[in-house]
């Protein structure tokens, strides 16, 4: 007999059985936490199959999303008064966002334990790196992949006091399994779905504040942010990006010099 409850992976309370739906070629049970609103799959035993390729084939919006995300990061840094601060892109994938941000003059670094760095080589961040505390950690389209969101957020907050994330919020009541694309039935990589109150709970559990557009963009901060200010900055992100060009200097060429010199040094040592 199947369990009717599981521990909520977001808050630790009881998550009750919701329904079953197809993921890959499996019938997977979903649970809903009435305490924080988190909707989760059963323990995701299929992840090795789901991540045979780190980036799923159906993610056709990757490039468009990263271009937009670069604007959002610049806007957020400006709102926090940290325009010259550094950024760590957590679960940074191929390094697309890090390269875009560095091209715009942001000291961005990538962190990802499961995906090869293809586009930002030489600019990876490690938890033990001896660098100034970053101003911001980003986690775009990552939280729905986490099987342990509390643990992942705790790690992010050891890197920076501010976390900018994107994840689509699930409606209440939860939509049927075949009527919401974000369940990711075809690739099996999405294992947890958040409501606004879920994110509030996670932020407060760490003594932080949440500001959100109530759709897909969410900012966890050490200090409260006026939602109207957040909305105004997001609306003006294209204008702000243009203005910041005069304050930030692109790292495209300086990165090239650094990487080329490091390669030459390695070649000399090799001989």
Give 168-199 pLDDT, tens digit per residue: 999 999 999 999 999 999 999 999 999 999 99
Residue percentage of the chain with pLDDT more than 70: 95
Q: Would you say residue 129 has pLDDT above 70?
A: no
Give the CA distances from residue 175 to residues 178, 216, 258, in Å, rounded to whole numbers and listed in that order: 8, 17, 50
Phi/psi for 65 (5° steps) reads: -65, -40
Nearest Cα to Cα of residue 200 among 7, 10, 8: 10
Least confident of 199-203, 225-229, 244-248, 249-253: 244-248
The per-residue pLDDT of the chain, averaged, comes to 91
Output the pLDDT for position 254.
92
Q: Is 176 left (phi over 0), alpha (psi -120 to 50) or beta?
A: beta
pLDDT score for 51: 87
% of the chain surpassing 90 pLDDT: 75
131 pLDDT more than 70:
no
Residue 68 has a pLDDT of: 92
pLDDT at 271: 57
Q: Give the predicted TM-score (pTM) of the model.
A: 0.92
Kindly report, residue by residue over 149-160, the tens digit of the pLDDT: 999 999 999 999
Span 230-240, pLDDT tens digits: 999 888 877 77
Residue 116, φ and ψ in degrees, nearest 5: -70, 140
112 with 125: CB under 8 angstroms?
A: no
Compare 2 and 25 and report the one with higher pLDDT: 25
State the first-to-last Cα distance of the chain, in angstroms, to the nearest integer: 65
pLDDT in tens, 251-271: 999 988 888 887 887 777 665
Q: Report the CATH fold assignment for 62-169+196-244.
A: Rossmann fold (3.40.50)
């Amino acid at each position: 007999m199947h369990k009717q409850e599981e521990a909520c992976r977001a808050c630790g309370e009881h998550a009750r059985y919701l329904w079953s739906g197809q993921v890959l070629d499996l019938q997977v049970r979903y649970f809903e936490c009435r305490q924080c609103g988190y909707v989760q799959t059963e323990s995701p035993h299929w992840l090795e199959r789901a991540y045979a390729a780190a980036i799923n084939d159906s993610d056709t919006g990757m490039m468009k999303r990263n271009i937009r995300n670069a604007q959002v990061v610049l806007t957020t840094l400006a709102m926090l008064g940290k325009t010259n601060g550094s950024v760590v892109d957590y679960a940074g994938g191929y390094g697309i966002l890090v390269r875009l941000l560095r091209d715009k003059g942001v000291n961005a670094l990538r962190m990802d334990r499961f995906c090869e760095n293809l586009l930002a080589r030489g600019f990876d961040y490690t938890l033990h790196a001896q660098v100034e505390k970053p101003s911001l950690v980003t986690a775009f389209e990552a939280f729905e992949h986490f099987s342990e969101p509390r643990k992942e957020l705790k790690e992010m907050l050891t890197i920076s006091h501010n976390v900018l994330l994107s994840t689509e919020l699930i409606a209440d009541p939860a939509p049927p399994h075949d009527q919401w694309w974000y369940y990711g039935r075809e690739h099996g990589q999405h294992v947890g779905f958040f409501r606004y109150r879920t994110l509030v709970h996670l932020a407060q559990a760490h003594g932080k504040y949440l500001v959100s557009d109530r759709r897909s963009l969410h900012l966890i901060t050490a200090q409260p942010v006026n939602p109207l200010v957040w909305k105004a900055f997001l609306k003006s992100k294209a204008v702000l990006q243009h203005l910041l060009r005069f304050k930030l200097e692109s790292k495209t060429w300086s990165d090239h010099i650094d990487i080329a010199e490091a390669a030459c040094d390695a070649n000399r040592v090799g001989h």
